[in-house]
């Protein structure tokens, strides 16, 4: 699994320039096609338990290989990974979803929402504050903990504004992102059973994403 994708990504990491890319466009197209096929399978399987995914196609979910170098000291024009984000409305819609990242030496499976804008983050925190027991039941369930590392990431040093400092679970409100992830080595990603593992991991994420997306949907409807 991902044989061509890994071979291409290893090679472009050593030849990250436009001349090589254009001379090897067919190599890129083969790797892209392989990753699109995997994403298509995942969309089909995930849509069986998450109706918000139905109707999406791979191009709605896959990130472009071209880097935005406008504000970066690294001017390498191409990413050295493939990524797809399966979420309601596609990868740009701003909902929580399921993420697959393929990169030699740095592949991982993840889900949730990364660095959402302030209104979305506030809406999620409000719902956690109001329904904290439900949220804790989800994030500490064996379904999630058997598949992923504990909830982690960048946090505020102090409780967010508008929330009581004496809230018993205030640490859950300090996150700047809400997501779960697990690293996978290259050998694991090449295994014939990796797609089954990814689907099972995404299935475990569904209650978590549903909680986040309900908060986001309610916020948008109220605007």
pTM: 0.95
Please state the rounded mean pLDDT for residues 101-108: 97
| pLDDT tens digit sequence for 80-95 | 999 999 999 999 999 9
pLDDT at site 70: 86
> At the top level of CATH, which class does the domain 3-222 belong to?
alpha beta
pLDDT at 72 over 90: no
pLDDT at site 4: 95
Integer Cα distance of 83 and 95 in angstroms: 16
Answer whether 119's CB lies under 8 Å from 215's CB: no
Integer Cα distance of 71 and 43 in angstroms: 33
Integer Cα distance of 159 and 101 in angstroms: 31
| pLDDT tens digit sequence for 165-187 | 899 999 999 999 999 999 999 99
Residues in the chain: 223
pLDDT band with cut points at 50, 70 and 90 for residue 52: very high
Q: Domain extents for the chain? A: 3-222
pLDDT at site 222: 81
Rounded to 5 degrees, what angle do the CA atoms 113, 97, 167 make?
40
pLDDT band with cut points at 50, 70 and 90 for residue 223: low
Integer Cα distance of 187 and 201 in angstroms: 18
Mean pLDDT (the chain, rounded): 95
Which of 46-50, 73-77, 177-181 has the lowest average pLDDT?
73-77
């Amino acid at each position: 699994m991902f044989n061509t994708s890994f071979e291409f990504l290893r090679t472009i990491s050593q030849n990250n320039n436009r001349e090589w890319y254009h001379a090897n466009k067919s190599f890129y197209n083969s790797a892209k096609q392989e990753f699109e096929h995997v994403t298509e399978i995942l969309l089909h399987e995930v849509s069986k338990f998450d109706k918000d995914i139905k109707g999406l196609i791979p191009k709605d979910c896959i990130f472009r290989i071209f880097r935005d170098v406008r504000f970066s000291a690294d001017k390498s024009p191409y990413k050295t990974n493939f990524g797809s984000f399966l979420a309601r409305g596609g990868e740009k819609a701003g909902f929580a979803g399921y993420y697959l990242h393929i990169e030699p030496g740095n592949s991982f499976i993840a889900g949730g929402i990364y660095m959402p804008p302030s209104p979305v983050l506030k809406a999620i925190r409000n719902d956690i504050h109001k329904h904290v027991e439900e949220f804790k039941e989800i994030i500490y369930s064996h379904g999630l903990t058997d598949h992923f590392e504990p909830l982690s990431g960048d946090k505020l040093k102090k409780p967010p504004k508008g929330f009581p400092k004496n809230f018993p679970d205030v640490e859950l409100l300090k996150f700047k992102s809400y997501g779960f992830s697990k690293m996978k080595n290259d050998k694991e990603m090449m295994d014939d059973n990796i797609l089954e593992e990814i689907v099972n991991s995404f299935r475990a994420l569904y209650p978590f994403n549903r909680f986040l997306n309900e908060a986001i949907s309610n916020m948008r409807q109220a605007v």
